[in-house]
Amino acid sequence: MKVYLSGEIHTDWRDQITQGAQHLAVEFSVPVTDHGASDDCGVAILGAEPDKFWHDHKGAKLNAIRTRTAIEAADVVVVRFGDKYKQWNAAFDAGYAAALGKSLIVMHGADHQHALKEVDAAALAVCETPQQVVDMLNYVLTGALPK
Amino acid sequence: MKVYLSGEIHTDWRDQITQGAQHLAVEFSVPVTDHGASDDCGVAILGAEPDKFWHDHKGAKLNAIRTRTAIEAADVVVVRFGDKYKQWNAAFDAGYAAALGKSLIVMHGADHQHALKEVDAAALAVCETPQQVVDMLNYVLTGALPK
Amino acid sequence: MKVYLSGEIHTDWRDQITQGAQHLAVEFSVPVTDHGASDDCGVAILGAEPDKFWHDHKGAKLNAIRTRTAIEAADVVVVRFGDKYKQWNAAFDAGYAAALGKSLIVMHGADHQHALKEVDAAALAVCETPQQVVDMLNYVLTGALPK
Amino acid sequence: MKVYLSGEIHTDWRDQITQGAQHLAVEFSVPVTDHGASDDCGVAILGAEPDKFWHDHKGAKLNAIRTRTAIEAADVVVVRFGDKYKQWNAAFDAGYAAALGKSLIVMHGADHQHALKEVDAAALAVCETPQQVVDMLNYVLTGALPK
Amino acid sequence: MKVYLSGEIHTDWRDQITQGAQHLAVEFSVPVTDHGASDDCGVAILGAEPDKFWHDHKGAKLNAIRTRTAIEAADVVVVRFGDKYKQWNAAFDAGYAAALGKSLIVMHGADHQHALKEVDAAALAVCETPQQVVDMLNYVLTGALPK
Amino acid sequence: MKVYLSGEIHTDWRDQITQGAQHLAVEFSVPVTDHGASDDCGVAILGAEPDKFWHDHKGAKLNAIRTRTAIEAADVVVVRFGDKYKQWNAAFDAGYAAALGKSLIVMHGADHQHALKEVDAAALAVCETPQQVVDMLNYVLTGALPK
Amino acid sequence: MKVYLSGEIHTDWRDQITQGAQHLAVEFSVPVTDHGASDDCGVAILGAEPDKFWHDHKGAKLNAIRTRTAIEAADVVVVRFGDKYKQWNAAFDAGYAAALGKSLIVMHGADHQHALKEVDAAALAVCETPQQVVDMLNYVLTGALPK
Amino acid sequence: MKVYLSGEIHTDWRDQITQGAQHLAVEFSVPVTDHGASDDCGVAILGAEPDKFWHDHKGAKLNAIRTRTAIEAADVVVVRFGDKYKQWNAAFDAGYAAALGKSLIVMHGADHQHALKEVDAAALAVCETPQQVVDMLNYVLTGALPK
């Protein structure tokens, strides 16, 4: 089963999931989570841009080669919303995955519940912790519930 | 040409566009923009829920009947990000539209430029004002530039 | 908006919906609801079959010309489960509609809740009465809640 | 060849097929067949629900991650209807598989023939026993008929 | 309902169907049935070819603009096999329609039954006469059986 | 029948076709053929760009809203290659149309035959003059050959 | 590269191709070529039918599990038309493959040229001998022409 | 990740990329780059043609078996435009890849910028050198920027 881990990049939630699920036949893919590299990749490779819009545009498109390929290949897309920032790219990925018919899991704290209601409505599961994602993947693949 | 107007619901930008484009062969569709009705539609019709999550869930799914039908029928999806709120549903719609290969126009102020770079990267046009949307629709349909 | 009304054919729920929604821009389609004609259409037109399996097979395929064309053309598919019979064709239609990404509304009584949980899980709304379907169509198309 | 075995979970028909076909290049997938785990997986991982509808809803959606991924990956979907229960999820899976253009095999006793005529009409084969499924898979893959 | 009438062009079966169904909301499309024009259209418009293969190739491709557009737009494809000629284009159209998920009706005499078994297996109805096609279209659209 | 006329914009070939076909049930669509407007539309509406690449980029994307919508809606795409310029956008449109399975007609002079062999190989017809396009549309729609 | 070899089953053309191409990275698939088994597989496994139509119907559908799975998985579909029989299933397979956008190679003698013009028009290559198919597969995979 | 390298065949840019990326998990595919073989493959295998159009036609279609299979299998399509020739096949491939939603990288010198603006507008990255392609593939797969 192929699982793409989208969204918040400032905590170690991806590590918790990949380590918790290392006994399972899951192939994880993730975006580039080095914030600086992700922001500057476009101009670093394709040439500087004086205008911030195009600086960001080049980078966002280059990152899209990775993220869209990964989402399209995934069976399950997990999207985590954290406490900070706008995280519109996370919601964009969720919409992209939903339109492709991917199984969507959304992870966020209770404080974001109302603001994420449309995203949650497209999900097959809404949870709060990486352990719940591990438990779900374990259940989906082995049929075993957590003890 | 069918155009869906997604996103921010607290200013009159949709009216400005539909009025500015009334001489064009455009069929506009919009979400329910009455905030209260949109929030409570699920429980009003399908029965009350003591848990806010399910209250919102019922409403968000009912609204999805309208929004997904409209996005899937649209040739062009315009998504506006305003100054307030998380607006994750707007970014979700943008991702949904992008995955379906719709022509995407994103409208937002300069202050949101960096946070919206992934959304902008999927768009065929990024603009700031309703008049620019009208000018684009006019150009796309008639070939005439604004004077 | 195109709405297909699938499922139980022994009560007048379709009439209640089409009459309740007659002020709306909805184009309804329905299966053949004459039980006898639906059962015998295949052999009546294509020749008698001594074996009941093929008798039914011819009829079911001929009915499929109508039902699949209608489901594929629909924006919304409403599936009602009544009190009697196996109604596997209703669940089949729900699965068919879900796989095509149609907006699915399921209508059934509380006693069938557990048995229909997988079907309900694929729906954008679950309700009990024709009036609720009318209210939803009215809301989806006009944004107005029932008074 | 990938084969998904959907439907009735109270007899050992899946074991009979997987054992009978163990000499063939078939990769079988199955739903979670532990009835209790399947019913309670949602609340066990994602938190308790006082309302039975949402209890079931959470579970059904979590199970859908497994079943839809499996159906979408399958070349052949076998759906068995047993003697008891409504089994609407089996008919739902059959409809889902049919809409995706999967090769559908339906297995059921003669007493359900009339009630399943629409499901049978979408199938490439209708049979009664696990051995017939094994024989078909053997024929489809090797060209050999049963002796 | 859009119906494409493919296959044999030497009898008046298309006229019988279109006249018999003139009271129904059916939009029929047909190939060019003037044998000479159909054979020579390519070279007549695009220039002569000394080699018969390319003479035919140009014509067949030009006819394909009409036939594929019509099949892709159709809800139902009726394919008739007559007594003479190879009629491989009819079987090709049937395969083309089947792969697109169109409702397929095959019409042929009993003598061709064995040779057409694979084509019939993909059809929702197999019949012998134009009147049966009219009766089916009438039933599918009105629910009325022939008297 | 919907026909999109792509490619060379410096001669009146589109007018010849639309006038020659005015007796036919054809709905033509065309790109913006005002060279200056087409080049500058992006910056005229969305703001000036000092860098020629982004100047052109904004314009090309805005034009893509029109051209892709038209190609996707078309049944037939006619692409004309003229004597001058690189005309890579014409070949791009041809590839885009071919991948979508549109009926492709290519029009060009004999001198470009070798260079266009891959494009011609994807076409259902290759011709040299607007009159030939008119004759083909007339034949495809009426079955009549030119006198 | 996956290649499906469809059509005539009375000469050893498939063996010639698979042996001639054994040095290439090609995975061949073929229908069941044992005429008797292919005709009787349905009733042998699923039960006898007194009516020849249903006898054939059961068999044709069972064979379809193999052939459609193979065509859908193939990159290239080779269809051979021999000297005898109607071979409508071969033309059906060609149409099915064409509609799915598969690369189609048609093999037949010169005497069938006119009757197969519509099938040939959908092909990327038309040839007469198994050696030509081997030469094409060799060229497509290695770039080397026959010496 | 599967990458198809389309376009100009007279410099060693493909070798530079495949060698530069040999440490990466990339599977490259390329067209036949032997100009003579590519031009004559059709007639060499399928028989001579006196008319240059059909000579080229046979070859272009045979090459299409390779190129379309490769583009359809690719995650990323890189298209290079060189200094000479019309290179319409390169632009055709770019359009074909864009319509299929592939990640498109376009490589060309600054002098072709204006003529390629429509092609560039469909790309996720526009660059000038093979090293930039290597750097992008490296970044997309490993997240590391060039030093």
Is it the case that residue D6 has pLDDT exceeding 90? Answer: yes
Q: Give the span between the Cα atoms of B96 and F112, in whole angstroms.
A: 42
Interface of H with F (CB under 8 A): 52-53, 56-57, 59-61, 63-64, 81, 85-100, 112-122, 126
- Point out the residue among F52, F56, F95 whose CB comes nearest to the CB of H91: F95
Chain E nearest-CA residue for C64: E124
Alpha helices, H only, chain H: 13-20, 35-46, 52-73, 88-99, 117-121, 130-142
CA nearest neighbour of F59 among C24, H120, B122:
H120
Per-residue pLDDT of chain G (147 residues; tens, 9 = 90+): 999 999 999 999 999 999 999 999 999 999 999 999 999 999 999 999 999 999 999 999 999 999 999 999 999 999 999 988 899 999 999 999 999 999 999 999 999 999 999 999 999 999 999 999 999 999 999 999 998
How does pLDDT run across C18-61, given as a tens digit for each residue?
999 999 999 999 999 999 999 999 999 999 999 999 999 999 99
Taking CA–CA distances from C49, the nearest residue in chain G reads: G51
The values of phi and psi at residue A75, to 5°, are -90, -35
What per-residue confidence (pLDDT) applies to F97?
98
Query: Nearest-CA distance from D95 to chain G in Å?
Result: 17
pTM: 0.97
Q: Tell me the pLDDT band of B85, cut-offs 50, 70 and 90.
A: confident
Q: What is the pLDDT of residue D84?
A: 86
Chain C contact residues (CB < 8 Å to B): 1, 75-76, 103, 105, 124-127, 132, 135-136, 139-141, 143-146
Task: Please say if the pLDDT value at position B29 is more than 90.
Answer: yes
Measured from the Cβ of residue G41, the count of other Cβ atoms closer than 10 Å reads 27
Q: Which residue among F139, F141, F146 places its CB closest to the CB of E62?
A: F139
Q: What are phi and psi of A36, to 5 degrees?
A: -65, -45
> What is the dihedral sign for C-alpha D61, D62, D63, D69?
positive
User: D41: part of which helix (H) or strand (E)?
Assistant: helix D35-46
Give the whole-angstrom CA distance, residue E27 versus residue E2.
Answer: 5
Give the Cβ contact number of residue H65 at 10 Å: 23
pLDDT per residue rounded down to tens, chain H (147 residues): 999 999 999 999 999 999 999 999 999 999 999 999 999 999 999 999 999 999 999 999 999 999 999 999 999 999 999 988 899 999 999 999 999 999 999 999 999 999 999 999 999 999 999 999 999 999 999 999 998
Alpha-carbon distance F93 to F138, whole Å? 24
d(CA D76, CA D27): 10
Amino acid at C126: V
pLDDT value of position D57: 98
Q: Considering only CA atoms, which of B130, B143, C88 is closest in space to residue D121?
A: C88
Residue E63: C-alpha distances to residues E96, F110, G45, H21, H125 (Å): 15, 24, 43, 47, 40
Q: With respect to residue C111, please indicate whether it lies within any of the assigned structural domains.
A: yes
What is the number of CB-based contacts under 8 A between chain C and chain E?
Answer: 50
pLDDT tens-digit map of A68-87? 999 999 999 999 999 888 99
Count Cβ neighbours within 10 Å for each residue of B11-27 and write b for 16 or more, e otherwise.
eebbeebbebbeeeebe
Task: Check residue D85 and give its pLDDT.
Answer: 85
Distance CA H71, CA G16 (A): 29
Please tell me the predicted confidence (pLDDT) of residue H143.
98
| Three-class secondary structure assignment of A95-136 | HHHHHCCCEEEEECCHHHCCCCHHHHHCCCEEECCHHHHHHH
Worst-scoring range by mean pLDDT, B105-109, D136-140, F83-87?
F83-87
User: What's the token pair of residue D27?
Assistant: 């990769």
Chains C and H touch (3+ CB pairs under 8 A): no
What pLDDT sits at residue A39? 97
The distance of A22 to chain F (nearest Cα, Å) reads 40
H helix intervals, chain A: 13-20, 35-46, 52-73, 88-99, 117-121, 130-142
Mutate one of F46, F117, F126 to test the H interface: name it (highest H CB count within 10 A). F117
What is the pLDDT at residue C107?
Answer: 98
The pLDDT tens digits for B33-57 are 999 999 999 999 999 999 999 999 9
Closest residue, chain E, to C63 (C-alpha): E140
Contact between G19 and G138 under an 8 Å Cβ cutoff? The reply is: no
Q: CA G37 to CA G45: how far, in whole Å?
A: 11
Tell me what percent of the residues of chain E surpass a pLDDT of 90.
Answer: 97
Closest to H119 in 3D by CA, of F74, B138, F94, F76: F94
Angle at D25 between CA D23 and CA D30, to 5 degrees: 95
Number of inter-chain CB pairs under 8 A, A vs B: 123
Say whether H125 and A37 touch across the interface (CB within 8 A).
Answer: no
Q: What is the mean pLDDT of chain E?
A: 97
Residue D98 located in a structural domain: yes
User: H helices of H74-116, where?
Assistant: 88-99
- Report the distance separating Cα F66 and Cα E81, nearest Å: 43
- Which residues in chain F have their CB less than 8 angstroms from residue A51's CB? 54
What CA–CA distance (Å, rounded) separates G90 from G88?
A: 5
Among F88, F100, F112, select the one facing H119 at the smallest CB separation. F88
Taking alpha carbons only, the member of H67, H92, H87 closest to residue H5 is H67
Nearest CA in chain F to H110: F53
Tokens of G122: 């959908």
Measured CA to CA, the distance from residue B59 to residue B39 in angstroms comes to 6
Structurally, how many domains does chain D consist of? Answer: 1
**Best mutation site among D88, D89, D107, D111 for testing chain C: the one with the most C CBs within 10 Å?**
D88
Half-sphere exposure of E127 (CA within 13 A, CB side): 25
G147 vs A43 pLDDT, higher one: A43
Q: Which structure tokens are listed for C10? A: 């022994």
Q: Is B74 exposed, middle or buried (0-12, 13-18, 19+ CB in 10 A)?
A: buried
Is residue F132 within 8 A of residue E46, CB to CB? The reply is: yes
Residues in H closer than 8 angstroms to E61, CB to CB, are none
Give the pLDDT mean for B123-130: 98
* Strands C2-7, C27-29: pairing kind: parallel
D73-94 as b/e: b if 16+ CB within 10 A: ebbbbbbbbbeeebbbbbbbbb
Q: Residue E69: CB partners within 8 Å, gap ≥ 6? A: F1, F75, F76, F103
Identify the closest residue of chain B to C77 by CA–CA distance.
Answer: B65
Provide CB contacts within 8 A for F75, sequence distance 6+. E69, F1, F2, F3, F102, F103
Residue D95 lies in a domain: yes
H helices, E strands: number in chain B: 6, 5
Q: Does F37 map to a domain?
A: no
Report the residue of chain D nearest G47, measured CA to CA: D127
Tokens 């309900």 sit at which residue? C120
Output the average pLDDT for chain F.
Answer: 97
Number of other CB atoms surrounding residue C147 within 10 Å: 4
Distance of CA H112 to the CA centre of its chain: 17
Nearest to H101 by CA among H121, H81, H123, H127: H123
pLDDT at site F84: 86
**F99-120: string of b/e by CB count within 10 Å (b at 16+)?**
bbebbbbbbbeeebeebbbbbb
Q: What is the pLDDT of residues A19-36, one digit of tens each?
A: 999 999 999 999 999 999
Beta partners for G78?
A: G5, G105
As a whole number, mean pLDDT of residues A33-54 equals 97
CATH number for the domain including G123? Answer: 3.40.50.2300
Q: Residue F85: its pLDDT value, please?
A: 86
- Condensed to tens digits (0 to 9), the pLDDT of residues E83-118 reads 888 999 999 999 999 999 999 999 999 999 999 999
Q: How many helices (H) and strands (E) does chain D have?
A: 6, 5
Could you give the C-alpha distances from B140 to B27, F17, F36, F44, H99, in angstroms and in order?
Answer: 14, 22, 14, 13, 20
Looking at the complex, report in whole angstroms how far the Cα of residue B95 sits from the nearest Cα belonging to chain F.
17
Question: Does some domain include residue A38?
Answer: no
Torsion of CA D83, D86, D87, D89, to 10 degrees: 180
Instruction: Output the CA torsion H74→H80→H84→H85 (10° steps).
Output: 30
pLDDT, chain G, mean: 97
Q: What pLDDT score does H90 carry? A: 98
Give the pair of three-digit tokens for residue G47: 């039960």
- Residue A21: which domain range? 2-32+72-142
Q: How many Å apart are CA C141 and CA C1, to the nearest integer?
A: 8
* Euclidean distance between CA atoms F102 and F77, whole angstroms: 7
Task: Report the pLDDT averaged over residues C83-110.
Answer: 96
Is residue D101 situated within a structural domain? yes
For residue E84, the chain G residues in CB contact (below 8 A) are: none
Map tokens 């009602």 to a residue.
C80
- pLDDT score for G93: 98
Give me the pLDDT at residue D3, please: 98
